[in-house]
Amino acid sequence: MTNSARSSNENPTGSAYDAAINELNKLLLILENVTNSITTSKYNPFYYHGALPQFYLWVLFLSGLLLFAYYIPTIDNAYLSARLVNAWTSVQYITDKLPFGGIIRCIHRYAGDAMVIFTVLHAIRVWFTDRYRQYRWVQWVTGIILFLMVLFIGQTGYYLVWDERSLLLTRMTASALEVLPIFGGPLKTAFLNGETITNLTLSNFLFIHIGLSFTLLFVLWLHYVRMTRPVITPPPAINYILVASILLVAFMFPITSGKMADLNTAPTSFEMDWFFLFPYAFMSAVPLVVFWVGGVIIAFVALVLPWLVRNVSPPVIPAEVVIDKCTGCSLCYKDCPYQAIEMVPAPAGSRFKLLATVKTARCSSCGICVGACAFDAIDLPNLTDSDVTAQIKALVEAK
Protein backbone atom coordinates (compact mmCIF):
# COMPACT_ATOMS: atom_id res chain seq x y z
CA MET A 1 0.00 0.00 0.00
CA THR A 2 2.97 2.23 0.59
CA ASN A 3 3.23 3.45 -2.94
CA SER A 4 0.24 5.66 -3.23
CA ALA A 5 2.19 8.55 -4.80
CA ARG A 6 0.67 9.37 -8.13
CA SER A 7 2.73 8.96 -11.25
CA SER A 8 1.19 11.46 -13.58
CA ASN A 9 4.00 11.46 -16.14
CA GLU A 10 3.57 7.78 -16.88
CA ASN A 11 1.38 8.47 -19.91
CA PRO A 12 -1.97 9.09 -18.28
CA THR A 13 -4.29 7.92 -21.03
CA GLY A 14 -1.97 6.33 -23.52
CA SER A 15 -3.22 8.42 -26.44
CA ALA A 16 -1.13 8.61 -29.59
CA TYR A 17 -0.37 12.25 -28.91
CA ASP A 18 0.90 11.44 -25.43
CA ALA A 19 3.01 8.62 -26.74
CA ALA A 20 4.59 10.89 -29.35
CA ILE A 21 5.32 13.63 -26.83
CA ASN A 22 6.76 11.03 -24.48
CA GLU A 23 9.19 9.87 -27.15
CA LEU A 24 10.22 13.42 -27.99
CA ASN A 25 10.68 14.14 -24.30
CA LYS A 26 12.98 11.12 -24.04
CA LEU A 27 14.99 12.38 -26.99
CA LEU A 28 15.44 15.73 -25.25
CA LEU A 29 16.46 13.96 -22.04
CA ILE A 30 19.15 12.06 -23.92
CA LEU A 31 20.46 15.27 -25.49
CA GLU A 32 20.46 17.00 -22.12
CA ASN A 33 22.32 14.11 -20.52
CA VAL A 34 24.99 14.34 -23.20
CA THR A 35 25.28 18.09 -22.63
CA ASN A 36 25.45 17.54 -18.87
CA SER A 37 28.34 15.16 -19.32
CA ILE A 38 30.25 17.90 -21.17
CA THR A 39 29.23 21.11 -19.41
CA THR A 40 27.60 19.83 -16.19
CA SER A 41 24.17 21.06 -15.19
CA LYS A 42 25.56 24.45 -14.19
CA TYR A 43 26.31 25.40 -17.80
CA ASN A 44 23.74 23.30 -19.62
CA PRO A 45 22.10 25.69 -22.12
CA PHE A 46 18.94 23.56 -22.09
CA TYR A 47 18.43 24.66 -18.50
CA TYR A 48 18.48 28.32 -19.57
CA HIS A 49 16.05 27.86 -22.46
CA GLY A 50 14.05 31.00 -21.63
CA ALA A 51 17.07 33.12 -20.75
CA LEU A 52 18.72 32.62 -24.15
CA PRO A 53 16.19 34.62 -26.23
CA GLN A 54 16.05 37.16 -23.42
CA PHE A 55 19.81 37.67 -23.62
CA TYR A 56 19.67 38.21 -27.38
CA LEU A 57 16.90 40.74 -26.83
CA TRP A 58 19.32 42.86 -24.78
CA VAL A 59 21.94 42.54 -27.54
CA LEU A 60 19.33 43.71 -30.03
CA PHE A 61 18.36 46.72 -27.93
CA LEU A 62 21.96 47.82 -27.59
CA SER A 63 23.00 47.32 -31.21
CA GLY A 64 19.69 48.80 -32.37
CA LEU A 65 20.32 51.94 -30.36
CA LEU A 66 23.67 52.41 -32.11
CA LEU A 67 22.11 51.96 -35.56
CA PHE A 68 19.25 54.28 -34.67
CA ALA A 69 21.73 57.09 -34.02
CA TYR A 70 22.68 57.19 -37.73
CA TYR A 71 19.56 55.91 -39.47
CA ILE A 72 17.47 58.33 -41.54
CA PRO A 73 13.92 57.10 -42.21
CA THR A 74 13.17 58.64 -45.60
CA ILE A 75 13.08 57.35 -49.13
CA ASP A 76 14.57 60.59 -50.40
CA ASN A 77 15.35 63.84 -48.76
CA ALA A 78 14.58 66.89 -50.85
CA TYR A 79 16.16 69.56 -48.70
CA LEU A 80 19.48 67.72 -48.70
CA SER A 81 19.20 66.86 -52.35
CA ALA A 82 22.68 68.04 -53.29
CA ARG A 83 23.74 64.64 -52.07
CA LEU A 84 20.90 62.14 -51.82
CA VAL A 85 20.41 61.28 -48.18
CA ASN A 86 17.86 58.59 -47.47
CA ALA A 87 17.36 55.36 -45.58
CA TRP A 88 19.44 53.35 -48.00
CA THR A 89 22.36 55.78 -48.13
CA SER A 90 22.32 56.16 -44.35
CA VAL A 91 22.52 52.38 -43.99
CA GLN A 92 25.30 52.43 -46.57
CA TYR A 93 27.12 55.07 -44.54
CA ILE A 94 26.75 52.97 -41.39
CA THR A 95 28.06 49.89 -43.15
CA ASP A 96 31.04 51.33 -45.00
CA LYS A 97 32.08 54.57 -43.32
CA LEU A 98 31.24 54.35 -39.67
CA PRO A 99 33.93 52.59 -37.61
CA PHE A 100 32.55 49.15 -36.83
CA GLY A 101 29.20 50.21 -38.30
CA GLY A 102 29.07 47.17 -40.55
CA ILE A 103 29.82 44.95 -37.59
CA ILE A 104 27.06 46.50 -35.50
CA ARG A 105 24.70 45.95 -38.41
CA CYS A 106 25.76 42.29 -38.64
CA ILE A 107 25.33 41.88 -34.89
CA HIS A 108 21.85 43.41 -35.00
CA ARG A 109 20.74 41.21 -37.86
CA TYR A 110 22.25 37.94 -36.67
CA ALA A 111 21.20 38.48 -33.05
CA GLY A 112 17.66 38.79 -34.44
CA ASP A 113 18.02 35.50 -36.29
CA ALA A 114 19.49 33.91 -33.17
CA MET A 115 16.63 35.19 -31.06
CA VAL A 116 14.13 33.55 -33.41
CA ILE A 117 16.06 30.27 -33.32
CA PHE A 118 16.31 30.21 -29.53
CA THR A 119 12.70 31.32 -29.07
CA VAL A 120 11.60 28.37 -31.18
CA LEU A 121 13.89 25.98 -29.28
CA HIS A 122 12.50 27.36 -26.00
CA ALA A 123 8.94 26.80 -27.21
CA ILE A 124 9.81 23.28 -28.39
CA ARG A 125 11.36 22.42 -25.04
CA VAL A 126 8.38 23.60 -23.00
CA TRP A 127 6.10 21.75 -25.41
CA PHE A 128 7.94 18.41 -25.46
CA THR A 129 8.59 18.41 -21.73
CA ASP A 130 4.90 19.08 -21.11
CA ARG A 131 5.55 22.41 -19.46
CA TYR A 132 2.94 24.38 -21.37
CA ARG A 133 -0.62 23.65 -20.32
CA GLN A 134 -2.99 23.89 -17.39
CA TYR A 135 -1.63 26.45 -14.88
CA ARG A 136 1.03 27.43 -17.44
CA TRP A 137 -1.39 28.55 -20.16
CA VAL A 138 -0.65 32.26 -19.61
CA GLN A 139 3.03 31.69 -20.39
CA TRP A 140 2.17 29.69 -23.48
CA VAL A 141 -0.34 32.16 -24.93
CA THR A 142 1.85 35.20 -24.25
CA GLY A 143 4.74 33.18 -25.70
CA ILE A 144 2.93 32.73 -29.02
CA ILE A 145 2.09 36.45 -29.06
CA LEU A 146 5.74 37.27 -28.34
CA PHE A 147 6.83 35.06 -31.21
CA LEU A 148 4.45 36.72 -33.67
CA MET A 149 5.62 40.14 -32.49
CA VAL A 150 9.28 39.19 -32.86
CA LEU A 151 8.60 38.01 -36.41
CA PHE A 152 6.85 41.24 -37.37
CA ILE A 153 9.54 43.38 -35.75
CA GLY A 154 12.17 41.52 -37.76
CA GLN A 155 10.22 41.99 -40.96
CA THR A 156 9.88 45.74 -40.40
CA GLY A 157 13.64 45.72 -39.86
CA TYR A 158 14.03 44.36 -43.36
CA TYR A 159 11.77 47.12 -44.77
CA LEU A 160 13.90 49.77 -43.08
CA VAL A 161 17.03 49.04 -45.13
CA TRP A 162 15.19 50.33 -48.18
CA ASP A 163 16.89 48.23 -50.80
CA GLU A 164 15.04 46.36 -53.55
CA ARG A 165 14.09 43.61 -51.16
CA SER A 166 12.48 46.17 -48.83
CA LEU A 167 10.47 47.60 -51.70
CA LEU A 168 9.23 44.18 -52.78
CA LEU A 169 8.35 43.15 -49.21
CA THR A 170 6.51 46.42 -48.63
CA ARG A 171 4.48 45.98 -51.81
CA MET A 172 3.73 42.33 -51.02
CA THR A 173 2.54 43.27 -47.53
CA ALA A 174 0.41 46.14 -48.79
CA SER A 175 -1.34 44.00 -51.36
CA ALA A 176 -1.81 41.17 -48.85
CA LEU A 177 -3.44 43.59 -46.42
CA GLU A 178 -5.61 45.07 -49.14
CA VAL A 179 -7.50 41.85 -49.82
CA LEU A 180 -8.67 41.52 -46.23
CA PRO A 181 -12.42 42.13 -45.87
CA ILE A 182 -13.70 45.34 -44.24
CA PHE A 183 -10.41 46.35 -42.59
CA GLY A 184 -8.31 45.72 -45.70
CA GLY A 185 -8.21 49.26 -47.04
CA PRO A 186 -7.67 51.01 -43.71
CA LEU A 187 -4.99 48.49 -42.72
CA LYS A 188 -3.11 49.11 -45.93
CA THR A 189 -3.34 52.87 -45.41
CA ALA A 190 -2.17 52.48 -41.85
CA PHE A 191 0.70 50.27 -42.96
CA LEU A 192 1.94 52.65 -45.66
CA ASN A 193 1.01 55.69 -43.60
CA GLY A 194 -0.87 57.01 -46.64
CA GLU A 195 -2.21 55.71 -49.91
CA THR A 196 1.18 55.18 -51.51
CA ILE A 197 4.79 54.71 -50.50
CA THR A 198 6.22 58.05 -49.38
CA ASN A 199 8.71 59.38 -46.88
CA LEU A 200 5.98 58.97 -44.28
CA THR A 201 5.95 55.23 -44.95
CA LEU A 202 9.46 54.75 -43.67
CA SER A 203 8.92 56.82 -40.55
CA ASN A 204 5.92 54.60 -39.88
CA PHE A 205 8.07 51.49 -40.28
CA LEU A 206 10.66 52.90 -37.90
CA PHE A 207 7.93 53.70 -35.40
CA ILE A 208 6.52 50.17 -35.63
CA HIS A 209 9.96 48.58 -35.41
CA ILE A 210 10.97 50.46 -32.27
CA GLY A 211 7.53 50.78 -30.72
CA LEU A 212 6.80 47.06 -30.95
CA SER A 213 10.27 46.27 -29.59
CA PHE A 214 9.48 48.17 -26.44
CA THR A 215 6.01 46.62 -26.31
CA LEU A 216 7.83 43.27 -26.18
CA LEU A 217 8.99 44.24 -22.69
CA PHE A 218 5.39 44.65 -21.61
CA VAL A 219 4.34 41.30 -23.07
CA LEU A 220 7.40 39.70 -21.47
CA TRP A 221 6.18 41.04 -18.15
CA LEU A 222 2.90 39.20 -18.77
CA HIS A 223 4.95 36.13 -19.73
CA TYR A 224 6.81 36.25 -16.42
CA VAL A 225 4.09 37.49 -14.08
CA ARG A 226 3.02 34.03 -12.93
CA MET A 227 6.56 32.79 -12.36
CA THR A 228 8.54 33.47 -9.20
CA ARG A 229 12.16 34.41 -9.94
CA PRO A 230 12.13 33.64 -13.70
CA VAL A 231 15.56 32.55 -14.93
CA ILE A 232 16.31 35.39 -17.35
CA THR A 233 20.11 35.58 -17.26
CA PRO A 234 22.35 32.77 -18.43
CA PRO A 235 25.71 32.42 -16.64
CA PRO A 236 28.50 34.63 -18.09
CA ALA A 237 30.29 31.74 -19.79
CA ILE A 238 27.17 30.99 -21.83
CA ASN A 239 26.73 34.69 -22.63
CA TYR A 240 30.27 34.76 -24.02
CA ILE A 241 29.46 31.85 -26.29
CA LEU A 242 26.20 33.49 -27.40
CA VAL A 243 27.99 36.71 -28.35
CA ALA A 244 30.90 34.83 -29.89
CA SER A 245 28.65 32.82 -32.16
CA ILE A 246 27.11 35.96 -33.67
CA LEU A 247 30.60 37.38 -34.20
CA LEU A 248 31.65 34.26 -36.05
CA VAL A 249 28.62 34.49 -38.32
CA ALA A 250 29.37 38.19 -38.87
CA PHE A 251 32.87 37.24 -40.02
CA MET A 252 31.65 34.38 -42.19
CA PHE A 253 28.78 36.30 -43.77
CA PRO A 254 29.39 40.06 -43.87
CA ILE A 255 26.19 41.87 -44.77
CA THR A 256 26.13 43.10 -48.32
CA SER A 257 23.51 45.64 -49.29
CA GLY A 258 21.18 45.17 -52.19
CA LYS A 259 20.52 47.92 -54.74
CA MET A 260 18.74 51.02 -53.53
CA ALA A 261 14.97 50.75 -53.91
CA ASP A 262 13.62 52.62 -56.90
CA LEU A 263 9.87 53.19 -56.93
CA ASN A 264 9.86 53.07 -60.72
CA THR A 265 11.15 49.52 -60.85
CA ALA A 266 9.44 46.30 -59.90
CA PRO A 267 11.90 43.84 -58.34
CA THR A 268 10.48 40.32 -58.36
CA SER A 269 12.82 38.21 -56.25
CA PHE A 270 14.98 38.61 -53.18
CA GLU A 271 17.46 36.85 -51.01
CA MET A 272 15.67 34.83 -48.36
CA ASP A 273 16.11 35.09 -44.61
CA TRP A 274 14.33 31.97 -43.48
CA PHE A 275 14.10 33.03 -39.88
CA PHE A 276 12.03 36.16 -40.43
CA LEU A 277 10.80 36.12 -44.00
CA PHE A 278 9.38 32.59 -44.31
CA PRO A 279 5.80 33.93 -44.29
CA TYR A 280 6.64 35.73 -47.54
CA ALA A 281 7.74 32.47 -49.12
CA PHE A 282 4.38 31.02 -48.13
CA MET A 283 2.64 34.15 -49.45
CA SER A 284 4.23 33.92 -52.88
CA ALA A 285 3.62 30.18 -53.15
CA VAL A 286 -0.14 30.19 -52.57
CA PRO A 287 -3.11 32.47 -53.33
CA LEU A 288 -3.55 35.27 -50.77
CA VAL A 289 -6.78 33.75 -49.46
CA VAL A 290 -4.98 30.53 -48.65
CA PHE A 291 -2.16 32.55 -47.06
CA TRP A 292 -4.50 34.40 -44.71
CA VAL A 293 -6.79 31.49 -43.87
CA GLY A 294 -3.83 29.15 -43.40
CA GLY A 295 -1.90 31.67 -41.33
CA VAL A 296 -4.85 32.41 -39.07
CA ILE A 297 -5.55 28.69 -38.56
CA ILE A 298 -1.91 27.94 -37.69
CA ALA A 299 -1.72 30.84 -35.25
CA PHE A 300 -5.05 29.86 -33.70
CA VAL A 301 -4.10 26.21 -33.24
CA ALA A 302 -0.81 27.30 -31.67
CA LEU A 303 -2.67 29.59 -29.28
CA VAL A 304 -5.18 26.98 -28.12
CA LEU A 305 -2.77 24.04 -28.01
CA PRO A 306 -2.88 23.91 -24.18
CA TRP A 307 -6.64 23.23 -24.33
CA LEU A 308 -6.67 20.94 -27.36
CA VAL A 309 -5.11 18.20 -25.27
CA ARG A 310 -6.87 19.08 -22.07
CA ASN A 311 -8.77 15.84 -21.81
CA VAL A 312 -5.56 13.85 -21.44
CA SER A 313 -3.94 16.00 -18.77
CA PRO A 314 -4.19 14.56 -15.30
CA PRO A 315 -6.21 17.04 -13.26
CA VAL A 316 -4.22 19.32 -10.99
CA ILE A 317 -5.46 19.09 -7.41
CA PRO A 318 -4.39 22.33 -5.74
CA ALA A 319 -2.73 22.55 -2.35
CA GLU A 320 -4.95 23.29 0.65
CA VAL A 321 -4.17 25.41 3.70
CA VAL A 322 -5.19 24.06 7.11
CA ILE A 323 -6.59 27.31 8.39
CA ASP A 324 -6.18 26.79 12.12
CA LYS A 325 -2.57 25.62 11.78
CA CYS A 326 -1.26 28.40 9.52
CA THR A 327 0.83 30.95 11.41
CA GLY A 328 1.09 33.39 8.51
CA CYS A 329 4.88 33.03 8.34
CA SER A 330 4.87 33.54 4.52
CA LEU A 331 7.51 30.88 3.83
CA CYS A 332 5.21 29.03 1.41
CA TYR A 333 4.38 32.31 -0.29
CA LYS A 334 8.08 33.01 -0.87
CA ASP A 335 8.88 29.57 -2.24
CA CYS A 336 5.86 28.85 -4.45
CA PRO A 337 7.28 28.80 -8.01
CA TYR A 338 4.03 29.88 -9.67
CA GLN A 339 2.96 32.80 -7.49
CA ALA A 340 -0.02 30.73 -6.44
CA ILE A 341 -0.08 31.72 -2.77
CA GLU A 342 -1.41 34.98 -1.49
CA MET A 343 -1.03 36.18 2.09
CA VAL A 344 -4.35 37.64 3.22
CA PRO A 345 -5.32 39.18 6.58
CA ALA A 346 -6.12 36.43 9.05
CA PRO A 347 -9.77 35.99 10.04
CA ALA A 348 -10.92 37.92 13.10
CA GLY A 349 -9.99 36.24 16.35
CA SER A 350 -6.88 34.58 14.97
CA ARG A 351 -3.64 34.81 16.93
CA PHE A 352 -1.81 35.67 13.75
CA LYS A 353 -1.81 38.60 11.37
CA LEU A 354 -1.76 36.76 8.04
CA LEU A 355 -3.17 33.63 6.49
CA ALA A 356 -1.90 31.81 3.40
CA THR A 357 -4.48 31.19 0.67
CA VAL A 358 -3.98 29.20 -2.51
CA LYS A 359 -5.05 30.71 -5.83
CA THR A 360 -6.26 27.43 -7.23
CA ALA A 361 -6.07 28.36 -10.91
CA ARG A 362 -2.35 29.02 -10.62
CA CYS A 363 -1.42 26.05 -8.45
CA SER A 364 0.64 23.31 -10.08
CA SER A 365 0.21 20.83 -7.23
CA CYS A 366 3.99 20.58 -6.90
CA GLY A 367 4.02 20.53 -3.12
CA ILE A 368 6.92 22.95 -2.74
CA CYS A 369 4.78 24.87 -0.23
CA VAL A 370 4.48 21.67 1.80
CA GLY A 371 8.26 21.49 1.96
CA ALA A 372 8.36 25.14 3.00
CA CYS A 373 5.88 24.93 5.86
CA ALA A 374 7.30 24.19 9.29
CA PHE A 375 3.82 23.84 10.81
CA ASP A 376 2.21 21.13 8.65
CA ALA A 377 -0.29 23.81 7.71
CA ILE A 378 -0.47 23.22 3.96
CA ASP A 379 -1.13 19.94 2.21
CA LEU A 380 -1.59 18.28 -1.14
CA PRO A 381 -4.96 16.52 -0.81
CA ASN A 382 -3.75 13.37 -2.56
CA LEU A 383 -0.47 13.10 -0.65
CA THR A 384 -0.77 14.71 2.76
CA ASP A 385 1.98 15.14 5.30
CA SER A 386 0.52 12.35 7.38
CA ASP A 387 0.38 10.04 4.31
CA VAL A 388 4.09 10.66 3.84
CA THR A 389 5.00 10.00 7.46
CA ALA A 390 2.85 6.85 7.47
CA GLN A 391 4.62 5.62 4.29
CA ILE A 392 8.01 6.30 5.84
CA LYS A 393 7.12 4.46 9.05
CA ALA A 394 5.70 1.51 7.14
CA LEU A 395 8.85 1.29 5.03
CA VAL A 396 11.21 1.39 8.02
CA GLU A 397 9.24 -1.36 9.69
CA ALA A 398 8.44 -3.46 6.61
CA LYS A 399 9.76 -7.01 6.66
Residues 229-258 that bind other proteins (CB under 8 A): 229, 235-238, 240-241, 243-245, 247-248, 250-254, 256
322 binds other proteins (CB under 8 A): no
- Nearest CA to 367 out of 315, 328, 317 is that of 317
Q: Which does 69 bind (CB under 5 to 8 A by kind): ligand SF4, ligand HEM, other proteins, none?
A: none
| Cα separation, 134 vs 145, whole angstroms | 18
3-state class percentages of the chain: helix first, strand second, coil last, to nearest 5: 60, 5, 35
Which residues of this protein are in contact with ligand SF4, per CB under 6 A?
Answer: 318-319, 321, 326-332, 336, 338, 340-341, 356, 358, 363-369, 372-373, 375, 377-378
Nearer to other proteins, 10 or 195 (CB): 10
| Cα separation, 91 vs 28, whole angstroms | 42
Q: Which stretch binds ligand HEM (CB under 6 A): 47-55, 237-245, 322-330, 389-397?
A: 47-55
Determine how many CB atoms are found less than 10 A away from the CB of residue 348.
5
- Residue 293 beta carbon to other proteins: minimum distance, rounded to whole angstroms: 37
37 binds other proteins (CB under 8 A): no
- Residue 331 beta carbon to ligand SF4: minimum distance, rounded to whole angstroms: 4
Angle at which helix 101-128 crosses helix 51-68, to 10 degrees, equals 160
- Residue 127 beta carbon to ligand SF4: minimum distance, rounded to whole angstroms: 21
Residues 6+ apart with CB under 8 A from 298: none
Footprint of ligand HEM on 123-142 (CB under 6 A):
123, 126, 131-132, 136, 139-140
> Nearest 5°: CA angle at 183, between 270 and 292?
45
Nearer to ligand HEM, 132 or 280 (CB): 132
Q: Which stretch binds other proteins (CB under 8 A): 157-165, 172-180, 264-272, 367-375?
A: 367-375
Query: Per-residue string for binding with other proteins, 124-163, x by CB under 8 A?
Result: -----x-x--------------------------------
| Cα separation, 138 vs 30, whole angstroms | 29
272 binds other proteins (CB under 8 A): no
Strand-pair partners of 342: 357
| Cα separation, 279 vs 39, whole angstroms | 37
